[in-house]
A and B are shown apart, each in its own frame.
Chain A
Amino acid sequence: MTTTPVPPVEVDGDAEELDDTLSASGGAVAVVADPFCDRDAVLDHARSTLGATRVRLEPAAEAGSVPAFADGPVVADDCHHLYARRVGGFDPLDELLDRLASASCRVVTSWNRYSWNYLSAVRDLDDAFRYVVTLPPLSAERIATTIRRRHGTLPAFAESPGRGSSPVTAATYEIPLPRRGPVSVRLPIVDVDYVTAWLGNRDRPAPEELVFQRLTRLSNGNPGVATAVWDACVDGDVVTPADLDLPVERTDPGDDAAAVLGVVVANESVTREELRAVVPDASLDRALGALVDRGFVGTGDPVTLSPDGLPGAIAVLDRRRWLW
């Protein structure tokens, strides 16, 4: 089993490096990142550095599930499960904040970025942590390293067939038509990846460089999303930039489905019971069906976010201003 290296981090607080925050004499640490962004690697490092006990909070965590911070360092994963967006849903979080205030040991916690932003706005969560460690988007080089590490031998890289290496490419749009369903349309657009790579070295970019530049853009530098997109798009002995193609989802899933999606994106994994409380007056099955059809979430209970559907899900919520 290989150990995942610690990704680059940014530290907010009176420290500059992750290890500075861990070696400090006191103060709780929050590790904040987008879904699928390797928070685990940072927490693995914290656990081994501190010799800490590791606990993982599960979906629908209730008051009483917050660990006691008294018997040595604790690393707590997925603390965004400590709240629900309903009346009475903040009780477990309030318990955590009370325990943090009286903790006598080092505590390192991890949070989904959207939950963190929301809870910092409505519950002043950020005031409870002396150090906030965030994981910024990775560069194309780091995304390439991640893919190589996870897949070992990669296929050969080649130019896109029929187009070669060109600053013009095409994008696929799904346009909903009444009574005919969505129709895929490809439109020519400027190849942002080609132009970005060209601006970087002032030379015609190699196919490998273009592939990882595109993968980085599609995943917004998120290693988990990049890996999922790679797995979905690359199949065979040769990979070209054109193979990495996520159709642009333009249809809106509707109010109830978007409300459910907002909760799933912020919590990454939510029980159906919790989701039922989000849309008490609507059919949860219909809302989830609309999200599954668009590839945003998986089936099952708890409902989990799909990594390759995250960019589309973010776009839906952003259009509605439901992203925090």
Chain B
Amino acid sequence: MAVVTADAVGGLRIDAGTLVGALAIVVVAYLLARAARVVLSALADRATDRGPVIRLAIPMTKFLIYGAAIYSILGPLFRLSQAQALAFSGVLGAALGFGLKDLFANLLGGLVIALETPYQVGDRIEVGDHYGEVVDVGVRATRLRTPEDDLVAVPNYLAITGPVANANAGDSEMLVVTELFVTPDADIARASAVVEEAVLTSRHLATDRPVTVLVEAEPRYRTIRAKAYVNDLSAEFAFGSDVTRRALRAFEAEGIPTPSPQILDEAERR
């Protein structure tokens, strides 16, 4: 049998059996992690109320599986003498310093995410320039599905080195802000009542949470801002759209004037 001797680490013996065994462990770990994810996701989907708690276990389970795999591979090799340990730490230090710094930062970030859970699968978060639903917390990166249905892999180190905005923090409900605009001469009280009723009668409203309607005066229009919780994260955009569509329809039916798109465009540019 061919034997590769790594003199750099003090005579550590890596033969073909070791490599095959390591490969088998990696494959088994990968399959186990995939299976755990599928099973836990299915369980979370079936358990409407406890779904977030079950999803919380997904990254932790993956870390445990991959951690056990790494230990199984490296454990037998790391019965190191003093000289071997010194040599290995030198190699590791050089690797971290030159090539693998980012990789280790991401792995460390993934571990922190799994332990501290600043977010979990299903949450709506904003990291760096990216906003979306967390669909997977991986060992190296977190995958987000954006409102445009893009899948973005965000390196885990961003979650521990920068701010993370989490819109729902594991809850199945989240705050959605909907804005509508009317002209300064509109009946603001009636317009606010219309917006509030459009929110209260939406099928997506979480009725056990507060609903707030605010009015802000701009020089050429008034903003009516409704803050309410959506009862299902997947309906985040459908909720805003539903409220806007029905409120605008009621504005038109009741003769409540809305500003022209040009006025809003100019205001946005300013």
Task: List residues of A whose CB falls within 8 A of some B CB.
Answer: 85-90, 117-118, 121-122, 259, 262, 280-281, 318-322, 324
Contact = CB atoms under 8 A, between A and B. Distances in A.
Contacts of A117: 207
Given A87-B246, A321-B48, 20 more contacts: A85-B201, A85-B203, A86-B201, A86-B246, A87-B198, A87-B201, A87-B247, A87-B249, A87-B250, A88-B197, A89-B197, A89-B201, A90-B197, A117-B207, A122-B205, A122-B207, A259-B203, A280-B249, A281-B245, A322-B203
Nearest to B230: A321
Contacts of B207: 117-118, 121-122, 324
A121 to B, nearest CB: 4
Nearest to B211: A122
Contacts of A89: 197, 201
A235 B15 CA distance: 75
A319 B211 CA distance: 24
The 8 lowest CB-CB distance pairs between A and B, nearest first, are: A121-B207, A87-B250, A85-B201, A122-B200, A87-B197, A321-B231, A259-B203, A321-B232
Contacts of A321: 48, 172, 231-232
Given A319-B48, A321-B48, A321-B172, A87 B194 contact: yes
A266 to B, nearest CB: 11
A88 B250 contact: yes
8 contacts: A87-B194, A87-B201, A121-B208, A122-B207, A319-B48, A321-B172, A321-B231, A322-B231
A86 B249 CA distance: 11
A280 B203 CA distance: 13
B242 to A, nearest CB: 10
Nearest to A84: B201
| Size bracket of the B interface | 10 to 19
A262 B203 contact: yes
Contacts of A259: 203
B67 to A, nearest CB: 36
A251 to B, nearest CB: 16
Interface string B159-197: 000000000000010000000000000000000001001
Contacts of B201: 85-87, 89
A290 to B, nearest CB: 16
Interface in B124-176: 172
Contacts of A85: 201, 203
Contacts of B48: 318-319, 321
Interface string B237-269: 000000001110110000000000000000000
A89 B249 CA distance: 14
A320 B238 CA distance: 14
A88 B200 CA distance: 11
Contact of B232 (A118, A280, A320, A324): A320
Contacts of A262: 203
Interface string B60-85: 00000000000000000000000000
A321 B229 CA distance: 13
Which of A88, A259, A281, A318 counts the most B-chain CB atoms under 10 A from its CB?
A88
B237 to A, nearest CB: 13
Interface string B12-56: 000000000000000000000000000000000000100000000
Q: Give the interface centre of B194, B197, B232, B247 by most chain A CB atoms within 10 Å.
A: B197
A210 to B, nearest CB: 28
Contacts of A280: 249
A315 to B, nearest CB: 11
B29 to A, nearest CB: 33
A118 B200 CA distance: 10
Nearest to B251: A87
A122 B198 CA distance: 12
Contacts of A121: 207-208
Contacts of B172: 321
B262 to A, nearest CB: 27
A46 to B, nearest CB: 29
A118 B245 CA distance: 22
Nearest to A278: B203
Contacts of B198: 87
Contacts of B247: 87
A320 B245 CA distance: 22
Contacts of A90: 197, 200
A117 B246 CA distance: 23
B226 to A, nearest CB: 13
B50 to A, nearest CB: 13
B122 to A, nearest CB: 14
A254 B202 CA distance: 16
Interface in B71-121: none
Nearest to B195: A87
Contacts of A88: 197, 250
Most buried by A among B203, B211, B245: B203
Contacts of B249: 87, 280
Contacts of B205: 122
A90 B193 CA distance: 11
A113 to B, nearest CB: 14
B252 to A, nearest CB: 11
A52 B232 CA distance: 44
A219 B86 CA distance: 72
Contacts of B194: 87
A193 B60 CA distance: 38
